[in-house]
Amino acid sequence: MTATVIDGKAFAAKVRGQVATHVARIKADHGITPGLAVVLVGEDPASQVYVRSKGKLTVEVGMNSYEHKLDAETSQADLLALIAQLNADPDVHGILVQLPLPKHLNEDLVINAIDPAKDVDGFHISNVGLLGTGQKSMVPCTPLGCLMMLRTHHGSLSGMEAVVIGRSNIVGKPMAQLLLGDSCTVTVAHSRTRDLADIVRRADIVVAAVGRPQMVSGDWIKPGATVIDVGINRIDKPDGGTRLVGDVDYDSCAQVAGAITPVPGGVGPMTIACLLANTLTACCRSAGLDEPQGLTV
Ligand code: NDP
């Protein structure tokens, strides 16, 4: 079998198109422009690239983008003061603090200082609780993107066996909650899991969010299963230079799976598209407008 490739890049472009259409409509009908504030502390090169690309795509869908670049020595008090200011600003509907933060800053405290209604990353403890209890929340962008692709590919996920490899707060745990919400039978595996390959072999859906290059091999995959590869790892090429690979060994898995996301061009582009979708959702909720269909759970 050769797997169907789930094209995250094309999917993300479609989601951004839906967001742009909705933004144009609420601008025209209500005079409201959704606004996303991104806060970057320090000069981490990867974070700078992410923030630039988020800002560019925010403007492309017709939203306002507010970038706040603070130096690496910024104190916790100053960062919290900025967040308080953004919480109070009616033009800002979404706030994202780029992680990781420099070591002297307390990430939990900073994230929990964001107004939960503007927490477009879905990391605030209130949103975590709401998601865990099946209530309306802001849903973390990466798992939301994975769920959108799975729903579109399969229609209903009800009754399917899902194995999520990884239990981080930003990917693994919310992914498991979302799959449970869609009535999958969910197993969450992690570094202490015994017989991981055997557990993965029973899955109709495998979501790999581990951070280990090409760890999941084709002989772990049940024929016909859907494989969602969240991993982004840079490895050396034999002839020099580097390339990006996922947590899944793409070539061997694609021979067995029914469908698979590539790296790059799979989950990655969906994460930013879902950030824009969450900002739009936050804006609609704050203004008491109808939420866009199909862009949140
Ligand atoms: P974390 O490091 O926070 O979590 C990794 C998880 O994998 C942990 O739960 C860990 O287990 C588990 N794990 C580690 N080694 C093994 C192993 N040998 N077998 C089974 N489980 C293992 O990573 P994140 O969740 O933040 O990210 C995961 C990957 O996804 C990374 O490659 C990251 O770059 C990528 N990513 C991609 C995004 C995108 O937009 N595409 C967004 C976010 C992340 P334990 O808890 O026991 O330590």
Does 146 share its domain with 240? yes
Does 44 share its domain with 104? yes
Contact 240, 205 (CB under 8 A): no
Q: Is residue 73 part of a domain?
A: yes
The domain boundary residue, chosen from 78, 98, 115 = 115
Q: Which of 251, 250, 275 is nearest to 263 (CA)?
A: 250
Q: Is residue 51 part of a domain?
A: yes
The residue type found at 258 is: G
Distance from the alpha carbon of residue 292 to the mean position of ligand 1, in angstroms: 31
**CATH number of 190's domain:** 3.40.50.720
- In whole angstroms, give the CA distance from residue 143 to residue 267: 9
- pLDDT of 106 reads 98
Q: Is residue 10 part of a domain?
A: no
Does 66 share its domain with 107? yes
Please give the DSSP secondary-structure letter assigned to residue 98. Answer: P
Q: Is residue 123 part of a domain?
A: no
Distance from the alpha carbon of residue 211 to the mean position of ligand 1, in angstroms: 4
- Does the Cβ of 210 fall within 6 Å of ligand 1? yes
pLDDT in tens, the chain (297 residues): 699 999 999 999 999 999 999 999 999 999 999 999 999 999 999 999 999 999 999 999 999 999 999 999 999 999 999 999 999 999 999 999 999 999 999 999 999 999 999 999 999 999 999 999 999 999 999 999 999 999 999 999 999 999 999 999 999 999 999 999 999 999 999 999 999 999 999 999 999 999 999 999 999 999 999 999 999 999 999 999 999 999 999 999 999 999 999 999 999 999 999 999 999 999 999 999 999 889 988
- pLDDT of 242 reads 95
Residue nearest to atom 3 of ligand 1 (CA): 168
**CATH number of 62's domain:** 3.40.50.10860
Q: Is residue 131 part of a domain?
A: no
Q: Domain span at residue 246?
A: 141-267
Does 59 share its domain with 157? no
Contact 232, 221 (CB under 8 A): no
In the chain, how many domains are there?
Answer: 2
- Does the Cβ of 231 fall within 6 Å of ligand 1? yes
- In this structure, what token pair is assigned to residue 136? 């309306």
- pLDDT of 240 reads 94
Q: Is residue 180 part of a domain?
A: yes
Phi, psi of 179 (to 5 degrees): -65, -40
Q: Is residue 7 part of a domain?
A: no
Does 91 share its domain with 184? no
Q: Which of 173, 175, 138, 153 is nearest to 258 (CA)?
A: 153
Give burial (CB, 10 Å; 0-12/13-18/19+) of 27: middle
Does 150 share its domain with 258? yes
- Does the Cβ of 190 fall within 6 Å of ligand 1? yes
Does 96 share its domain with 177? no
Distance from the alpha carbon of residue 166 to the mean position of ligand 1, in angstroms: 5
Q: Is residue 133 part of a domain?
A: no
Does 167 share its domain with 255? yes
- pLDDT of 65 reads 98
- Does the Cβ of 48 fall within 6 Å of ligand 1? no
Distance from the alpha carbon of residue 85 to the mean position of ligand 1, in angstroms: 33
- In this structure, what token pair is assigned to residue 15? 């989601």
Q: Which of 204, 197, 201 is nearest to 160 (CA)?
A: 204
- pLDDT of 184 reads 98
**Residues annotated as part of the active site:** 54, 98, 121
Does 163 share its domain with 259? yes
